[in-house]
Structure formats: structure tokens, C-alpha cells
Amino acid sequence: MDKILRIDMGAKGGPKASEAELGDYAGMGGRGLTSAIVSREVPPLCHPLSADNKLVIAPGLLSGTIAANSGRISIGCKSPLTGGIKESNAGGQAAQVLARLGYAAIVLEGEPGDDNLYKVVINKDGVKIEADNSLKMLGNYDLIDKIKEAYGEKVACISIGPAGEMKLTAASIACTDMEQRPTRHAGRGGVGAVMGAKGVKVIVLDDAGMKMRPPKDPEKFKEANKVWVEGLRKHPVTGEGLPAYGTNVLTNVVNEAGALPTRNFRFGRFEGASKVSGETEAEIETARGGMATHGCHAGCVIRCSGVYHDKDGHYMTKQPEYETIWAHGAHCEIDDLDAIAMMDRLEDDYGLDTIEMGVTIGLAMEAGLAEFGDAEAAINLVKEVGKGTPLGRVLGSGAAVTGQVYGLEKVPVVKKQALPAYDPRAVQGIGVTYATSTMGADHTAGYAVTANVLQVGGNVDPLKPEGQIELSRNLQVATAVIDSLGMCLFIAFATLDQPETFQALVDMVNAFYGLSLNDEDVVDLGKSILTSEREFNKKAGFTAADDRLPEFFKKDSLPPHNVTFEVKDEELDSVFNW
Amino acid sequence: MDKILRIDMGAKGGPKASEAELGDYAGMGGRGLTSAIVSREVPPLCHPLSADNKLVIAPGLLSGTIAANSGRISIGCKSPLTGGIKESNAGGQAAQVLARLGYAAIVLEGEPGDDNLYKVVINKDGVKIEADNSLKMLGNYDLIDKIKEAYGEKVACISIGPAGEMKLTAASIACTDMEQRPTRHAGRGGVGAVMGAKGVKVIVLDDAGMKMRPPKDPEKFKEANKVWVEGLRKHPVTGEGLPAYGTNVLTNVVNEAGALPTRNFRFGRFEGASKVSGETEAEIETARGGMATHGCHAGCVIRCSGVYHDKDGHYMTKQPEYETIWAHGAHCEIDDLDAIAMMDRLEDDYGLDTIEMGVTIGLAMEAGLAEFGDAEAAINLVKEVGKGTPLGRVLGSGAAVTGQVYGLEKVPVVKKQALPAYDPRAVQGIGVTYATSTMGADHTAGYAVTANVLQVGGNVDPLKPEGQIELSRNLQVATAVIDSLGMCLFIAFATLDQPETFQALVDMVNAFYGLSLNDEDVVDLGKSILTSEREFNKKAGFTAADDRLPEFFKKDSLPPHNVTFEVKDEELDSVFNW
């Protein structure tokens, strides 16, 4: 993992690959590397769909090793949705396989001068780039079926669906899971549109003949990983809640907390919550022969994923995540899990961010295009995107555009990115993260739900402004590091609560790379990543005015706690003062 | 004109009007007043369609007097298109009538709590606000017919069409002309959407029984106006070119200069230019019994307007302006005047900015929704907006949204507002104005075409960066003053070239208000307006990054001169350094 593969899609005579040492980027991985390349090499004022933008795909520093849960892949660029820097990461097999192929990053550059759609195949023998227009407008599922036929059952794929080809700003990039299903998405910020603008449909990664990456100190590494695994297994969230019910374990918890945004952020509790909860979901999955517990990539010991079958017992989609369930569920007042699973399936197939899409469907309801609660109408709205109709293109452009096109006033976005599944009035810490994250509204960027609701890593009253800045700041710093290691964010629960688990993670990095980092070094790494991202955004025109929630969160109080967002603007502006 | 009429559309028990003295706003008019009220009273981060935004309608300081060409009305708000401050002004009768009714401004505030559509009627007896849902979704022409039936042939109207009701961000506000046709529009920045959000369909202004506003020094005022009128009549642009051929006199001139943006800013000359030129237009108008010379408001001595009839000699629309002809013509490679006039008619009727719409249709062609040059397809695209289809709503949201929804890279906007009819590479001075104006891309904000192309007010090589900053700066300052006086921008030609005409204007202001302003005071006024607008925009999140042209103007050279935009970023940042 000491090379960067650059593919110039606009090279004379057709796309051309070249490899180089890491050079200035040595020691970087995942989000640290994608953000470094974007902030150093992409002109902040370029059009995100232009030749000047770059799509950087980087496994984490520990990906491709035996370290448990190190399978996240970071995808970075200038976002066509937010206009700022973007790193969106996904699970699945791609990170491990790409890392074992020896690449710290693939960088797609330039833009093809023709209308061809390209396929990139990388294996131990090198890189092949070929036009394959038979792939045009294929859904991710059909695409992967074709790839399987040609390249077998073991390759990992990174691909876009029709949404990415249409360059829609809610387009995601799909990564295949262990069963070669295109279900793990780098969802946020329209990264799929940038891949579409580069003319690349799919990157096929084949690590046959390649080995697990070797640590500098194999013994210490193995030992640290053992403590690491034990830590993840013994924490109640990663050892019990997540495996049993998946991320959707949160529906009942957040609903109970009065923080489940319902009917486009009007209420904090949803009547139909129990019908779409993780508990109900697991029951249905088990009853229909799906799976309630499943890992999205080899080496995962949390196994928060699952497999969702239809009523006839046939595979429909991976277990829809909490955010997906919320966006299509409470936000739209839909309490029908099968309908939500169908939308999840369609969105994975078209290649769309399920958060952005669910929020957008709720806005379409707000605009009168469908009734709140009408599941069939919601499914049909998603299908519009697949058909590429004008309405579909609007919806596929996300919440901010849909709000503008339909003249809506209540549009829950920050930096034009749709808010996720926690109302910032009832979880004020996550409100700070939504407002200030370099990424736009993003729960994963500093998941303050931990101390606000779950009582993990401390306990900060979710309804009050006190303590939220520090909480969000610390989590944003820590997350930047986690996203650089290739670690699944869920490891945070155990590392926040169990000092020895955190230490095991540091030990793994040190043993793998022959380093002697301490806590402070880790914090510094996180800060430096955030600083480079903030610098890019500043040059792209972002100011403190962009670090704000929509005004209605300050004005309209949220039942049942009847709270508004109380963190002051000046406090928000202090998040990155260190 | 010493009162402000405030209408609180969200008052308990229904909309409520109240009057107050000017107070802190004394001495302000037109753009100076709209920008002062918006920058002091509207929260910069509010949603433009929310109750917090205000729509300010203000005649100029000399409106309602006998001063020639003082009939511009300024309409200001936070723009739903740009997100910044907006002043868009229009001709027609409204400014004179409103001024004579004694109002320095009407301010629409709040938002109605119901779905009613309101009509506001103002006459010598006071203000009446009533719900009239029979007006819903009427085009401006049908609306005005109804108003005429009810209120007679002498009232002036300020109204929105279906586009404003749909809150589309390309929606304009129409003002009736002398023949009570809704043809003079405050077009830019989506002001119509804000009027729609306020729930007001039409403001009927009836000045029966009211008198011309009296000057403090009637003799001096009369004398100054005489010199003023002579000055306007003797300048070749305002005395000959504009009356004979209207604003469209520019098509041949700008085409000759290689600066007529063609096929979405790919070329600087359009093969079909002569077919849509002012000369051809005047010929057609005369031949069909329309009018080639006509004033848009009483008291105009330039008379650059006209009346365009269809092939059968029936009224179709007012003489389409140069900007309209360009946007639907060269930009879309359409050389059919009748088709362009039809689109002008439709857009006036729906209440749409013809610049924004024409540019957007060109982008729809870029996206493959129609062929460049296909006039019938273009007309059908405009009709989509009237129907309120999803496609129509996208187009009616303007160029930036359409570019995003269709994944386009070449989107000619600044601050999300579409560029007007002069390529900034071949008229670099106007490029400086487009980039730096507080309004977004706006030719009227600092019309450097004067010295760059027309050799009015000096002579600055249009193809080189030298001298453009100063040129644009001075014009932006002067324009802010002109827009505050209620003066038509075209008076600038004579005041730039003829010192005595400029002096006559200052003399009129002094005589009317009993002041003794000198040149320096006038410049200071302009600067203070721009400063308050810049301040608002800064608080709304604008930075130097927003004062830039799209990157392709710096990269792709424009034939026939094969030039790129050469003014440096640092220079752009110096425009407001005084």
C-alpha cells in the first residue's frame, strides 16, 4: 500500500494509468489521504464535474490487514452537492482488496473527451482500462451480475448506477459486500456524480495472488488485535445491540428520546416507530429466512448488517440501516418496513444516497407530490429517479434543489446536504456536528448521540447547549482519525468507554508501521485533517454563515420536549479553535 | 412621498397595513431605500421565502415628478436565487403613481397563515387588502384584464404570474406600462417568488385625485429638467439609436465586436444576428402596424420601447429587449424573431425573468432536451413552466438549478444568477461587473459596455484587463445612485459624455429637495449603498470566492478574438477598495 494509482481519463489517446510512490503523502490513509490530495490538488473554485476535480479512493491505514473492522474505504473529491470538500466512506470488500493490491489510493483525474463509459480492472498483473458501453445505465445489481460472469465470484467492485451516470448530486458509489452485492455505499455528497463525470462505471478489484499486508512487528500487531477484538466484543453496543438488531436498534431508542425527526422535522416521536424498529426488522428477517446478523466485510467482528427477504423469502436488499429506515420512515410517516426495504433496494440499484433520497421524498410530500405516509407513492417517486424523468432528476439532485424547485421554506439541509436521523433540537450535540462539519450535515462526522443519548463516552444533557461544543469537537477530531485508519465508526463505542480498547488501536497502528504514536499524536492527526478540510472549504467560499442550521431549528420548538436549538452562533464558531 | 406603507401579511386576523414616517430612512429612495431596509431589517441568514424576508417596493427620489425618465421602481429583498441582497428595477407606470400616492416604499412583511391569495388596492382614500382566490394562477395578461374591468383603465399594477405563485426562483414582478400591459418587469433574482411567498398577487395603484409631487424650488427644478431633456435628446445613443431601434440596436454592435455569446458562450458571433437585430425588429414592427418607438412610462423622452405584432397584425408583446433577444436568440442559436417574441410574451405572462429563462433554455439544449436552434422546442420548454410540470419548475428555477439537475459543467452564472448578453472575455469590463456586483451577474449594475464597446464615457480596450476595475467601480457607484433616483439607466449615456447633463441631474435633485449636493456627495451616496449591500452579502455568507466568473471563462478562449478573461482575482478583490 505504498503506491498511488492515477488514472488520467482525459489523456490523449484515451485514459491512461500511472503509478507513483506516495511521496509527500506517505503515512496517510483513508480520509487523511483523500482530504490531503483534494485540498492540495483540486482548485477549490473548480466545477465539481469538471476535469479539474479528482475522485480519490483510499483504503485506510489498517485496511488489508488482519485488524478487525478495518474495511472502510474513503472516497473524496470536491462535492457537487455541497461545493466543499467531501469524504464519504463505505464498508464492503473494496478497502481490504485494494489495500492488498498495494494501492494507498486510486485517483481518477481529468475527463474523457468522448461519450464512452469505462471499466477499470485492477489485479496483480496491473491495470486495464477499457470502454464498455454495454454497461451504460445498468443498475448496480445487473452490473455486478455481468462483472461476476466475467471476473468470477471473488472480485470486489466499486461502481455507480444510473444516478451517477446522470451526474445527479445525490448519487452514491457502491461497494460490493462479501456476497458480491452492491449494498455498501459511499453515499453522501454526490461522489457518484463525480465518478460519472470521470466516465468510469466500475472499478473491478481482484486480489487473487496477493497477500495480507505484513506488519512491521507481527507479534505485537497480533497481540494488539486480540485485545482489540475482545474490546469490541465485550462492549454492550458493539457486542450485543448492533449484532442483534443492526443500526436500526436506534429507532426505538431515539424515538423514546423524543429525537426521531417525524414528518419533516415537525415532531420528535413517530407513532409507527415500533413497526419499523430494529427489533421488528430482526424478527421479520429471521422469519423470512434472511439474516439478522451479518458482516459487511471480511474481518468484521461487530456484524451489524443483515439480509432482508421479501414476503416470499427471496432476497430483496441488505438490512436497511437506521438512517435509511428513518429517512423513508418517520420522516415520511411511513411505517411499512417492506416498502422501506424496497426503496433501499431501488436506491442501492440506482446508486443513490438513502439519507438524501429519503429526506427529499419527505420534501416532495411537503410539496404535495404525495401524501405523508403513502408508501406506494414514495416508491414511485424513487422509481422516477431510475427513469431519469425531470421529476426524478430533481429528486435525485437532493433536498436543497427539491426545496428550491418546489418553493419550500422548511428544508433541512446544512451546506446543502440533508440532515440525518437525529433532530438537532433534541440532540443538541449532533446539531453542533451538523452545523460545523466540513462535510455538511453528517451524523458520522462527530456522533454526539453517544454522550447525548446512549451514555457512551460520558453523559451530556441532549436538550441543553452546555457541553455540546466540546463533545462535538472531540468527536470530530477522533472521527477524522478513525476514518483515516479504515476503521468502522462503530469501534468508537468501545474506544470511548474502554481505555484498553483505545490503546489496542494505537498499538496496532504502531506495531503495523513501526511507530510510537501516543494519544497526543493521534489527536494532532485528527486536527490536521480537519484543518486541511476547513482550509479547502474556506477557499471554496465557505464562511461561518455556512456553519449554521436552518433558521427554523432556532424558531420552531420540537415536541415532545418543546425545545429549540440553543447553541449560540459564537459557540459554533469556536468548534475549531484549538 | 414621505411615508412607508408596511403590510404585515402574517398579522393575526389577516393582513394589516400601517403607515409610518420615513424616520431613519429619510432622504432615501429607490435602490438606496430598498437596500437600506433589507440590510437593516432582514436577517441575512433567513430563508428567502420565510416570514422574515421583506419585499420592498420603492419609487426613486425623483419619481412622481415632471423630471424626464424618472419612472423606475426598485424592488428589493433577500434573493431566493442568489441568497444575497437584491434590487431589481422596472419601468412602467408604477413608480410615478406610487410616488404620487405619497409612498416612499411599500414593504410586504411576514407571511399569511392561510392559502389565500391577496390583492392590495391603494388609492387616495387608503389601503385595502382582500383575499381574491379567483386570481389564482392567472397569467399577468388575464390578471390585468380583470383588474381593468374592476378598477378602470388608469390604475397601475404590480403583479406576479403563475411563476411567482409557484415561488420559482426565476419569477419576476410585472409592472404595467402606459397601455396597461404587464410588460415591464423587475426581472432578476426571483423577486416574484418573494411576492408569491407573501401571498400577494397584485398591487393596484390608483392615483386619481393625487397631484404631481411639488419641488421645493419649482423654477430651478423646471429649468434643470429642461437642460436635462435637451441633454437626453441630443446624445446620439438616447436621441437616435435607442428611439429608432430600441435596446436591440445592440445586437449588430455587440455581434460586430465579437462579444455576442452564442451557443452557450462558445462563440462571440452569431450567424443569425442580422435576422434578429434591432434594425430588422423595427422594420417588422412598422410593417405589421406595431410601433418601433414607444415609451414605457409617461415622462420618458428616450422612448426605447416598442410594440411587436404578430404576422396578422395583432398585438403579441412589447418590443422584446436586446437581452431577451440575445438569451433566446444567439445563446440558443435561434434566429426567428417571431419565436423569440412569443417566448417574451409567454414569459411576461407567466412572470419570468427573460434573461434567466433564455439562458436556462440554452442549458436545456446543452442537456439534450432540445436541439440548439429549434425555436418550436424552445417555446414548448417555456410553456412547461406555465404548466408547472416538474421540467417547467426546474427551468423556472433558473440556470444554476437546471445546470445541477442535468449535470452540466458549463453553467454561465455568478452568485447563481445567469449571465446577460455580453461575453466577459470580449468585454472584460462587464466581466468585472458580473463577477463583483452585489446582485450576481448583472449588466445593469455597472454597464462597462459603454467605454468598452460604445466609446461612451471614455474608451477602454475591451479585450484587455487594463483599466477595467476602475471602469466597473465607477459605473457601479454611479449606477447605485441612478437606481436610487428612479432614473432609467439609459440616462447614463448622456451624463457620462455631457457634463452639463450630469449637472442638470444634480440640479434637479437639489432643487426638488432644497439641497446643495455636489459631485462628491453623489459619489458618496453610491458608495454607501454598495457598502450596505456588500455588508448584507457578507453576513449572508458571501466571500471573494463568490466574486468570480465560472472557471471556463478563464480557460476556454472565445472566438473570433480568441481571448480568455484576464482580469486577476486580486484585482477583482480591489473593486470596492475606496
A7 within some domain: yes
A135 within some domain: yes
* pLDDT tens figures, A78-122: 999 999 999 999 999 999 999 999 999 999 999 999 999 999 999
- Going by their DSSP bridges, the two strands B315-318 and B305-309 should be labelled as antiparallel
Nearest-CB residue to B401 (from A168, A405, A539): A405
Domain boundary among A422, A445, A470: A422
pLDDT value for B207: 96
| Rounded Cα–Cα distance for residues A259 and A272 (Å) | 14
Nearest-CB residue to B405 (from A401, A538, A546): A401
Q: Of A353, A426, A344, A404, which is closest to residue A379 (Cα–Cα)?
A: A344
Nearest-CB residue to B541 (from A45, A168, A546): A546
Nearest chain A residue to B369 by CA: give it: A390
Same-domain pairing of A277 and A184: no
Same-domain pairing of B142 and B259: no
| Rounded Cα–Cα distance for residues B536 and B548 (Å) | 18
Same-domain pairing of A278 and A137: no
Same-domain pairing of A191 and A258: no
Same-domain pairing of A130 and A258: no
Q: Please judge whether B401 and A406 are an interchain contact, meaning their C-beta atoms are less than 8 angstroms apart.
A: no
Is pLDDT of A1 > 90? no
A324 within some domain: yes
Q: Of B161, B190, B540, which is closest to residue A405 (Cα–Cα)?
A: B190
Q: What's the full length of chain A, in residues?
A: 578
Amino acid at B278: G
| Rounded Cα–Cα distance for residues A452 and A496 (Å) | 13
Neighbours of B52 (CB within 10 A): 18
User: How sure is the predictor about B508, in pLDDT bands with cuts at 50, 70 and 90?
Assistant: very high
Q: Tell me the average pLDDT of chain B.
A: 97
Mean pLDDT of B317-344: 98
Nearest-CB residue to B47 (from A47, A543, A550): A550
Amino acid at B43: P
Is pLDDT of A2 > 90? no
Same-domain pairing of B275 and B410: yes
Reduce the DSSP state of residue A76 to 3 states and report it.
strand
pLDDT value for A136: 98
Cis upstream peptide for B560 (omega within 30°): yes
Start-to-end C-alpha separation, chain B? 32
Mean pLDDT of A453-472: 97
B214 within some domain: no
* pLDDT tens figures, A28-53: 999 999 999 999 999 999 999 999 99
Q: Please judge whether B397 and A409 are an interchain contact, meaning their C-beta atoms are less than 8 angstroms apart.
A: no
Domain boundary among A422, A454, A469: A422
Secondary structure element (H or E) that encloses residue A122, with its range: strand A118-123
Q: Please judge whether A409 and B49 are an interchain contact, meaning their C-beta atoms are less than 8 angstroms apart.
A: yes
* Partners of residue B192 in chain A, C-beta under 8 Å: none
Q: Please judge whether A551 and B49 are an interchain contact, meaning their C-beta atoms are less than 8 angstroms apart.
A: no
Q: Please judge whether A394 and B389 are an interchain contact, meaning their C-beta atoms are less than 8 angstroms apart.
A: no
The one-character DSSP state at B153 is: S
| Rounded Cα–Cα distance for residues B306 and A387 (Å) | 45
Same-domain pairing of B265 and B192: no
| CATH number for the domain that contains residue A303 | 1.10.569.10
Reduce the DSSP state of residue B574 to 3 states and report it.
coil
Q: What is the CA radius of gyration of chain A?
A: 22
Nearest chain A residue to B412 by CA: give it: A47
| Rounded Cα–Cα distance for residues A491 and A544 (Å) | 31
Mean pLDDT of B387-410: 98
Same-domain pairing of A198 and A273: no
Mean pLDDT of A472-482: 98
B221 within some domain: no
Whole-angstrom CA distances from B414 to B35, B167, B431, B548, B549 are 20, 21, 10, 7, 6
Q: Where are the beta strands (DSSP E) in A67-194?
A: 73-78, 85-90, 103-109, 118-123, 126-131, 156-159, 173-175, 184-186
Nearest chain B residue to A194 by CA: give it: B407
Same-domain pairing of B349 and B415: yes
B458 within some domain: no
User: How sure is the predictor about B228, in pLDDT bands with cuts at 50, 70 and 90?
Assistant: very high
The one-character DSSP state at A44 is: T
What ipTM, to 2 d.p.? 0.96
Copy the grid coordinates of residue A173: 458509489
The one-character DSSP state at A453 is: I
A42 within some domain: yes
| Rounded Cα–Cα distance for residues B560 and B555 (Å) | 15
Whole-angstrom CA distances from B188 to A464, B81, B454 are 43, 9, 25
Same-domain pairing of A397 and A281: yes
Contact by Cβ (8 Å): A166, A393: yes
Domain boundary among A148, A182, A205: A205
| CATH number for the domain that contains residue A141 | 3.60.9.10
Q: What's the full length of chain B, in residues?
A: 578
Q: Please judge whether A540 and B541 are an interchain contact, meaning their C-beta atoms are less than 8 angstroms apart.
A: no
Secondary structure element (H or E) that encloses residue A57, with its range: strand A55-59
Residue with the three cell numbers 471480511: A298
- Chain B interface residues facing chain A, Cβ-Cβ under 8 Å? 43-47, 49-50, 52, 80, 166-169, 193, 196-197, 389-391, 393-394, 397, 401, 404-409, 411, 539-546, 548, 550-552
Chain A: give the shortest CA distance to residue B48, in Å.
8
Nearest-CB residue to B45 (from A166, A407, A545): A545
| Rounded Cα–Cα distance for residues B256 and B244 (Å) | 19
Segments forming the whole domain that contains residue A365? 248-422
Nearest-CB residue to B407 (from A193, A390, A409): A193
Nearest chain A residue to B541 by CA: give it: A545
Same-domain pairing of B184 and B287: no
Contact by Cβ (8 Å): B119, B204: yes
| Rounded Cα–Cα distance for residues B362 and B218 (Å) | 51
pLDDT value for A153: 94
Mean pLDDT of B480-490: 97
Is pLDDT of B1 > 90? no
Nearest chain B residue to A197 by CA: give it: B407
* pLDDT tens figures, B242-269: 999 999 999 999 999 999 999 999 999 9
3 state SS for A254-322: HHHCCCCCECCCCECCCCCHHHHCHHHHHHHHHHCCCEEEECCCCCCCCCEEEEEECCCCCEEEECCCH
Q: Under 8 Å CB-to-CB from B407, ≥6 apart: which residues? A: A49, A166, A167, A168, A193, A196, A197, B367
- Chain A interface residues facing chain B, Cβ-Cβ under 8 Å? 43-47, 49-50, 52, 80, 166-169, 193, 196-197, 389-391, 393-394, 397, 401, 404-409, 411, 538-546, 548, 550-552
A526 within some domain: no
Contact by Cβ (8 Å): A133, A33: no
User: How sure is the predictor about B83, in pLDDT bands with cuts at 50, 70 and 90?
Assistant: very high
Q: Please report the sign of the dihedral spanned by the C-alpha atoms of residue B311, residue B317, residue B319, residue B323.
A: negative
Same-domain pairing of B86 and B190: yes
Neighbours of A474 (CB within 10 A): 18
Nearest-CB residue to B409 (from A45, A49, A550): A49
Count of domains for chain B: 2
Interface test with A, best of B50, B380, B404, B409 (most A CBs within 10 A): B404
Q: Please judge whether A407 and B548 are an interchain contact, meaning their C-beta atoms are less than 8 angstroms apart.
A: no
Pairs across A and B, CB distance < 8 A = 104
Residue B169 backbone phi and psi in degrees, to 5: -80, 0
Reduce the DSSP state of residue A394 to 3 states and report it.
helix
Q: Taking the model in full, what pTM does it have?
A: 0.97
Q: Please judge whether B404 and A545 are an interchain contact, meaning their C-beta atoms are less than 8 angstroms apart.
A: no
* Partners of residue B544 in chain A, C-beta under 8 Å: 541
Whole-angstrom CA distances from A500 to A221, A233, A488 are 15, 13, 18
Mean pLDDT of A257-278: 98
